[in-house]
Amino acid sequence: MSPRKTSPQRDPGAAIAATMELDAPRRLPVGAEVVPGGVHFRVWAPLRQKVEVVFEEPAEERPVEMELRPEATEASEDSGYFSWLVEGAGEGALYKYRLDGGDAFPDPASRFQPAGPHGPSQVVDPSRFRWTDAEWQGLGREGQVIYEMHLGTFTREGTWEAAARELPALAELGITVLEVMPVAEFPGRFGWGYDGVDLFAPYHLYGGPDDFRRFVDRAHALGIGVILDVVFNHLGPDGNYLKQFSERYFTDRYENDWGQALNFEDAEPARELFIANAGYWIDEYHLDGLRLDATQDVKDASADHVLAAIGRRARQAAGGKPVYVTAENEPQDTRLVRPPEQGGYGLDALWNDDFHHSAVVALTGRHEAYYTDYRGTPQEMISLVKYGFLYQGQRYSWQERRRGTSGLGLPVSAFIDFLQNHDQVANSARGERVHRLTSPGRYRALTTLLLLAPGTPLLFQGQEFCASTPFLYFADHNPELAAAVRQGRLEFLAQFPSLALAETQASVPDPESPETFARCKLDWTERETNPAAAAALALHRDLLKLRREDPVFRAQGAGWLDGAVLGPEAFVLRFFGRFFGDTAGDRLLVVNLGADLELEPVPEPLLAPLTGRRWEVLWSSEEPRYGGSGAPPPEDEEGCWRLAGQSAVVMQLVPLEGAETR
């Protein structure tokens, strides 16, 4: 919206005028935008009578102030906007908003905070970056392999530039999507990013906005998409100045697990700030989608739920290219991924905690705290592969209520499966990765299930080479808040009886310590110096190649899929593929997490070959180059089956010599 032409009072020494009409349309509803001739500022501050933009000019050692006047509004638009076009201002200018002649605060829609959330905002011109990804086609839901990463610990340097150097290795591994943990500006020298306060400003210690853009551009050149984890359920407690502009950004109508709930219902400008942010990352950073954090705390009773609006805005910003919008939702509400015509929000995929919890119980044998309702049985594994969530409305004893909604009719690719993620690795006393909590054989077997099952697999950084580094909870807060965070972390871990013991709690690393943060940084040299890491890398690389190149596994369950329990810790999945050339497309995935198992007799039809064919081993987790000890084929010439303990094997159908096939 163009500002009115008026002549505000200004500093006599100011060399900046504000008498131009705004000709170019704004990219965002609020914030500072470079336009022909200057910078256009717009902010929603209905709580205030007067708003001024205060420029920092170190060379002149004095601020330059321009008063922003309330703009004319249409009857349908919320009042309270202030806007002005400042002639002569440009990219790189540092500024704050002075409110009612008092204190000055950063821009709620700042594109960059070079000195952190308490410092001045910086004018950024996104149009100056020269992209080279014109041929990039975007991301759809099918065929993806996700890699979750935390920029600060992904490399020793913890920068976009350093992270970009590792992208060729991830492309060669078979990763198709990078899921970057939150980067919206947050306080302190390190943190997970979930306490962000400046939603449009990438964290300054990772690099500047163009460093982020170069990272995305490089990923696209290598055939990898990038999605960003965004937090629309709360804002962090330190550096959050939204209430200085309007208390209507928040509401007491709902409870929230992390602070005051955000208001998406009766303040359209507040709602629009978050919806615009979803499109901003797609538009100005060429991101390929979003991961929406803890959507159960995005409370909205509007007829058009804000999550549906966020998904639409992300797709609109992509300009016709497909984008990939995923969500975390602890109650497992499948409405988020159902199409709008079925009353859904139209997102693409949901994180599947059920897969993780059942798999971890199978790996470790322990089911305390939120693992209580899982046993890690073969039947659970089969049901996960076939139906996505285990809990789709049944009683969940840990929460003493029903959990989940029906997932029937959803494509299996709508469920994102994982053995590890940032939360689950850190939710332990020592931040140990799951391969350290189980046997190598079990870990290889369930990695096989993860990477060949039809659901969308997610790996957490370093998982592909069984990184020795932990991933702990870390955050750098002011002393008062730091004490509360330490205590809160211990109270959270105490839900696990084994972690409630005094001696265990005493050993939990201090989340506020720089040493805790430094311990979590990946050591990429392990891939060459550690034989076990090299073996794990080979395992993941070969499985992802099989998933990508084998026509049956690549189809992600598009054909018929069934499974059967073979023993207390053993099961089989049969993928009924189409016929490819003269070879039957069926595949078997046989998993045995227990001891050696002999099947005699073998009254399970899923193990039966087609007439005139026999089963042949296509791949085995026990190959020595993966760290295995070798294993004979499960089926001998007489048709007897013997499943090696703690192993997974993939089998294909081949013709019997001289036999007719059908």
d(CA 202, CA 219): 18
Q: Which helix (H) or strand (E) segment is 29 a member of?
A: none
65 occurs within a structural domain: yes
Burial zone of 604 (CB within 10 Å; 0-12 exposed, 13-18 middle, 19+ buried): middle
Can you give the pLDDT at residue 1? 31
pLDDT value for 59: 45
**Is the model's pLDDT at 479 over the cut of 70?**
yes
Q: Would you say residue 59 lies in a domain?
A: yes
Which has more pLDDT, 284 or 560? 284
Q: What's the mean pLDDT in 464-473?
A: 97
Query: Helices 209-221 and 268-285: crossing angle, nearest 10°?
Result: 50
The pLDDT assigned to 544 comes to 98
Q: What pLDDT is stored for residue 557 in this prediction?
A: 73
Measured in residues, the chain has a length of 662
Does the pLDDT of residue 16 top 60, yes or no? Answer: no
User: Could you tell me if residue 609 is inside a domain?
Assistant: no
Position 19 confidence tier, pLDDT thresholds 50, 70, 90: very low
Tell me the C-alpha distance between 517 and 509, whole Å. 10
For residue 58, the model assigns a pLDDT of 59
Q: Is the model more confident about 19 or about 482?
A: 482
Quickly tell me which residue has 């201002």 as its tokens: 89
Percent over 90 (pLDDT), the chain: 80
pLDDT band at 79 (very low <50, low <70, confident <90, very high): confident
The parent domain of residue 69 ranges over 31-128
- Quote the mean pLDDT of the chain: 91
Residue 565 CB contacts under 8 Å (≥ 6 apart), including other chains: 377, 378, 379, 382, 571
* Average pLDDT of the segment spanning 551-565: 87
Pair type for strands 177-180 and 349-351: unpaired
pLDDT value of position 63: 60
pTM of the entire structure? 0.94
- Looking at residue 560, what is its pLDDT? 82
Q: How far apart are CA 240 and CA 166, in angstroms?
A: 34
In a domain, 621, yes or no: no
Give the catalytic positions in this structure.
293, 328
Locate all alpha helices (DSSP H) within 371-473, ordered by sequence. 378-387, 422-426, 440-452
Please state the rounded mean pLDDT for residues 68-77: 49
Q: What is the pLDDT of residue 484?
A: 87
- 611 is a domain residue: no
Residue 22 falls inside a structural domain: no
Instruction: Give which of 41, 88, 48 is closest to 68, Cα–Cα.
Output: 41
Looking at residue 9, what is its pLDDT?
34
Judged against a pLDDT cut of 80, whether residue 553 lies above it is answered with yes
Question: Looking at the predicted structure, is the pLDDT value of residue 558 above 90?
Answer: no
- In the predicted model, is pLDDT for residue 581 greater than 70? no
Q: Which of 63-67, 150-154, 426-430 has the highest mean pLDDT?
A: 150-154
The sign one gets for the Cα dihedral 171, 173, 177, 180 is negative
Q: Is residue 646 part of a domain?
A: no
DSSP code, position 580: B
Nearest to 430 by CA among 488, 473, 477, 476: 473
| pLDDT on residue 188 | 96
Task: Write the CB contacts of 98 (distance below 8 Å, at least 6 apart in sequence).
Answer: 51, 52, 53, 54, 65, 104
State how far the alpha carbon of 649 is from the alpha carbons of 72, 127, 312, 573, 632, in Å. Answer: 69, 52, 42, 11, 10
The residue ranking higher by pLDDT, 74 or 449, is 449
Please state, in angstroms and rounded to a whole number, the distance separating the CA atoms of residues 206 and 158: 6
CATH number at residue 64: 2.60.40.10
Instruction: Give the model's pLDDT for residue 124.
Output: 98
Short-list 84, 87, 86, CA closest to 72: 84
Confidence of residue 476 (pLDDT cuts 50, 70, 90): very high
Task: Tell me the two tokens of residue 179.
Answer: 């899921």
Q: Say how far apart CA 34 and CA 24 lie, in whole Å.
A: 9
Q: For the segment 317-341, what is each residue's pLDDT rounded down to a tens digit?
A: 999 999 999 999 999 999 999 999 9
Give the Cα separation of 524 and 365 in Å (integer).
Answer: 31
121 in any annotated domain: yes
Residue 501 reports pLDDT greater than 60: yes
- Structure-token match 């180059």, residue found: 625
**Helix H or strand E segment including 406:** none
Cα torsion angle, 387, 292, 166, 435, sign = negative
pLDDT of residue 104: 96
Question: What is the tens place of the pLDDT at every residue in 593-652?
Answer: 999 999 989 999 999 999 889 999 999 999 999 999 998 999 988 889 999 999 999 999
Spatial contact of 466 and 499, defined as CB atoms under 8 Å apart: no
Q: Give Cβ neighbours of residue 289 (< 8 Å, ≥ 6 apart).
A: 139, 177, 225, 227, 228, 282, 314, 323, 324, 325, 326, 348
Examine the pLDDT at 516 and tell me if it is beyond 50: yes
Q: What percent of the chain has a predicted confidence (pLDDT) above 70?
A: 91
- Interval 40-63: pLDDT, tens: 999 999 999 999 999 987 544 456
pLDDT at 78 over 90: no
Q: Averaging pLDDT over each range in 15-24, 536-545, 581-590, which range is the top one? A: 536-545
**For the chain, what is the domain count?**
1
pLDDT of residue 505: 87
Tokens of 245: 């502009």
CB atoms within 10 A of CB 457: 24
Q: Is the peptide bond before 457 cis (omega within 30 degrees of 0)?
A: no
pLDDT at position 68, please?
A: 66
Give pLDDT tens digits for 401-454.
Answer: 999 999 999 999 999 999 999 999 998 888 999 999 999 999 999 999 999 999
Pairing state of beta strands 401-403 and 415-418? unpaired
